[in-house]
Amino acid sequence: MNLFILNEKEINEKIAREILDLVKDKPSCVLGLATGSSPLGVYEELAILSKKENISFKDVTTFNLDEYVGLNPSHNQSYRYFMNDKLFSHIDIPIQNTNVPDGINYQDSMDYYDQKIALKGGIDIQLLGIGSNGHIAFNEPGTSCDSFTHVVDLKESTIKDNARFFDSINDVPRKAITMGLASIMQAKKIILIAKGKNKALAIRRLFTEGIDISLPASILKKHDNVDIYCDEEAASLLKGDRAC
């Protein structure tokens, strides 16, 4: 794993640049996308630079990591709505090229999502955030390393982390459909973004502990092409121990 400790602007710019360079070199590339606050600045940068540099996404395919169970795509806290609002409506990607797990008819996504990814040749770059409890996508502590797309019960810590996006913590869905850890590990390259003090303990554990299902992100140690971008707050507990 490669660790980069940068400010937020630098993180957004560097990741957006890498994605745009991939799109230019491989116009039909496959991107794995995440939601939440961590990648938001990257998406803003992608929208700005793709227009400025006339880089087209018309042949790109995207697969999002996850979706809340029970939320319609039109719900303003669904991840489909988030992606349409924050990225897809600002670039020239055909909407039919974008894939988000179905939170209503989730059995279909469980059955076919990984197959669809494989049929497209696999994910070239997968973006990830990390939860305060070390989850990636919605793979909570205890998730099998062999898991593919599945439905999960969200931990209270995850519900609390995401409550800021809802009117009340009681409105946060208790289940989600998510790409599994095995799904994520099949990506050719993985980029993980961690921002803020609430991610500091998870990042410290990632770099100082072994692979353990109590920290789902620790499976990334098995991947040979992972970049981890942290701001100073997320990296604050690493001190001098930054070895993988």
Q: Which residues are catalytic?
A: 66, 133, 135, 140
Q: Which amino acid is at 19?
A: I
CB within 8 Å of 11: residues ≥ 6 apart: 4, 41, 42, 193, 195, 229, 231
The answer to whether 131 and 157 have CB atoms below 8 angstroms apart is yes
Alpha helices in 132-199 (DSSP H): 156-162, 181-185
CA distance 59 to 76: 27
Report the chain's C-alpha Rg in angstroms: 17
